[in-house]
Amino acid sequence: MSPITFGILTKIEVRFFIVVIFTLVSDSCSENKNDDRSGPLLERLVTDKESEIGRKLNAEIECSAIIPDDELFIQETLIRWSDDVGVNVILTTGGTGFSSRDVTPEATKQVINKEAPGITHAMFTESLKVTPMASLSRAVSGIRGNTLIINFPGSPKAVKECFNAVANVIPHAVDLILDVKKSIKEAHHDIQHSEVYHSCPHKKSAASLSLDNVAGRLRESPFPMISIEESQKLMKNSVVKEISTVKVNIWDALGRVLAETVFSPCDLPPFRASIKDGYAVIAKDGKGKRTVLGGLEAGHKPGSVKIVSGSCVRINTGAAVPDEATAVVQVEDTKLLEKGADGKEEKVIEILTEPKDGQDIRPIGSDIKKGSIVLKAGTKIGAVELGILAACGCSQIPVTYLPKIGVLSTGNELQDAGEAPKPGHVYDSNKITLIMMLKENGYSAVDLGIATDQEKVMIDAIEKAVEEVDLIITTGSVSMGDRDMLKPILKEIFNATIHFGRVNLKPGKPTTFATCVHNGKTKYFLCLPGNPVSAMVTANLFVFPLLNHLTKNNAKPMVVKAKVTSKYVLDPRPEFARVILEWSDDDVYPKAYSTGNQISSKLLSCKNANALLMLPGKSDSQAVLEEGAVVPAMLLGFNQHVG
């Protein structure tokens, strides 16, 4: 029998968590505030080849973690380890008591497909022999897919008792589970030995997913509903930390992100420069007559003309000021007294105002000093940034690797604009909208076409996409329809990790983010809903933040406060409504005017919209947002502008 793979999930109350293969780490454990003993004990028990039970288990620890007492997070971890990592057994410790923070059984019940009450009963029976307090445990055991999940209590003593009570039946339980679904057994064996458990190598399966079994489809999403904040955190944490750096010619750097902080190689200006068209003078000479020694144009060599008391030099804006001069007097503050012999040159002028030391002279390095920071790493390069780099003499600019992006539309009902209309079809507007949104923000994307809702067509389209691009943006096929097959295809055929599959927002609840490894390189999938408005809104909320992470861009969306001009009945989910913001002199806040019907299929509701109103979810204390209320609004078209 092949080794049984285990996942050890230790539950303790911590604010932060870190998942490390084979190691249990947390902020509080590292500071000795919570000395986790149950997790390491379980690891020793499962892998102890010296004991009879250990030899019978023939086990390997595939992954282990300490996570917070959060029901949704526990669910997400159990789902990920079961479905994506493919471990045979997950043992959890802690969170099975009566405290309000003890939610492990509730989380487990949400993710298992079948309960295994006999295993739970065996643990209770053994523990009750030792202490009547064991009756207070609410542990749950059950099966999810190919994985057996067992809740253990939190104390090391209870863990050992419960483990000894059920360890002997685990190998047979695993055999029974795998015999039921032999078609997946090989895939699990491949996944077991992946380098990082959350990044499975791409491997196309020959087996059909039987997606035509409509009667057997899920009636409820297996993915926990997570907050926007949590989804964006998961997205950020999934990005490969090491980003390639390339050098490009300054003329090709527009829209790119600086990979390194740039320090000025020179002073700017590199010489004392005149701010005005006028005359370079010695300030202490005061007002009065001056002999004009000649003229200095911008670009002349500094020090080519010397002045003495009682004389001056005509000078243009930007020209180098003679070393002896201590001020520049603008031409408007002078009067011509005498012309030269040819009648064209000035011989004597009069200074009409009292000059001051340093007047209208830019000192060396007054704009930028040599060695000072010009632009920081993570800055997106726009026209002004290019001007600054050029002013410092930079011609080769270090920038981060720009991911290749592809946009794929899915759906049987879609056809390209320009084709003769077909019965039951609509024209695909998502692809051009998304590609142009990307272009407006400095990214280019390739058109990956339209994939119909057929298993082979979808697989072929994704197979082609992962060969061509780094980030695949899809629209459609992520909801609960019987033809929404994108998630199972990504998971089962491409061994992708679904980091999240539902987000608590409106519109855009089924937004999905996944990663897989193809030819040693991480590929990213942002699967957006098919409704045009949902696709546009979620592109702003997820596509551009992900691209910022992928390019190390420090920019964030620009959010302002706005005053609503109409009443809003709040949805249970936080909602992003399309509005037109208008500023006026009589109010500190811009007024937010609704663009009309906010149904997610109505793309016209996005026309002229310059912001997304960030409406809170409905609560017991607030069901309606009255006219005049002030709420945040995210400006559209400014995703890259705030550092």
Closest to 529 (Cα-Cα) out of 458, 479, 459:
479
Q: Indicate the pTM of the whole model.
A: 0.63
pLDDT at 328: 97
Task: State the Cα–Cα distance between residues 534 and 532, nearest whole angstrom.
Answer: 5
Distances (CA, A) of 322 to 272, 327, 345: 8, 10, 20
Cis amide bond preceding 590, omega within 30: no
Beta strands in 442-496 (DSSP E): 445-451, 471-475
pLDDT at 337: 95
Task: State the Cα–Cα distance between residues 321 and 300, nearest whole angstrom.
Answer: 10
pLDDT at 609: 87
Closest to 91 (Cα-Cα) out of 71, 63, 117:
63
* Amino acid residing at 62: E
Task: State the Cα–Cα distance between residues 235 and 228, nearest whole angstrom.
Answer: 10
What residue ranges of the chain have pLDDT lower than 70? 1-2, 10-36, 180-220, 480-484, 597-607, 638-643
What is the end-to-end Cα distance of the chain in Å, rounded? 56
Question: How many CA atoms, within 13 angstroms, populate the side-chain half-sphere of residue 85?
Answer: 25
Residue the block writes with tokens 């015999």: 179
Q: What angle do CA 534, 609, 617 make, to 5 degrees?
A: 55
**Contact partners, residue 410, CB within 8 Å, separation at least 6:** 450, 451, 452, 453, 458, 461, 474, 475, 476, 477, 486, 530
What is the DSSP secondary-structure string of 128-152?
A: HTT-GGGGG----EEEETTEEEEEE
Task: State the Cα–Cα distance between residues 400 and 257, nearest whole angstrom.
Answer: 6
pLDDT at 72: 79
pLDDT at 626: 95
Task: State the Cα–Cα distance between residues 565 and 544, nearest whole angstrom.
Answer: 29
Task: State the Cα–Cα distance between residues 305 and 84, nearest whole angstrom.
Answer: 77
Query: For residue 581, what is the enclosing H or E element?
Result: strand 575-582
pLDDT at 502: 92
| pLDDT 10s digits, 222-233 | 788 999 999 999
CB atoms within 10 A of CB 340: 11
- Look up residue 456 and give its two tokens: 């082979």
Task: State the Cα–Cα distance between residues 392 and 388, nearest whole angstrom.
Answer: 6
What is the DSSP secondary-structure string of 225-250?
A: PB-HHHHHHHHHHHS-S---EEEEEG
Task: State the Cα–Cα distance between residues 258 and 308, nearest whole angstrom.
Answer: 48
Helix (H, G, I), strand (E, B) or coil at 323: coil
Structural domains in the chain, CATH included, are 18-189 (3.40.980.10), 245-260+372-398 (3.90.105.10), 273-362 (2.170.190.11), 405-551 (3.40.980.10), 559-635 (2.40.340.10)
* Amino acid residing at 170: I
For residue 420, with 0-12 CB atoms within 10 Å meaning exposed, 13-18 middle and 19 or more buried, which class applies? exposed
Residue the block writes with tokens 């049987």: 412
Task: State the Cα–Cα distance between residues 275 and 359, nearest whole angstrom.
Answer: 9
Evaluate whether 76 touches 502 at the Cβ level (below 8 Å): no
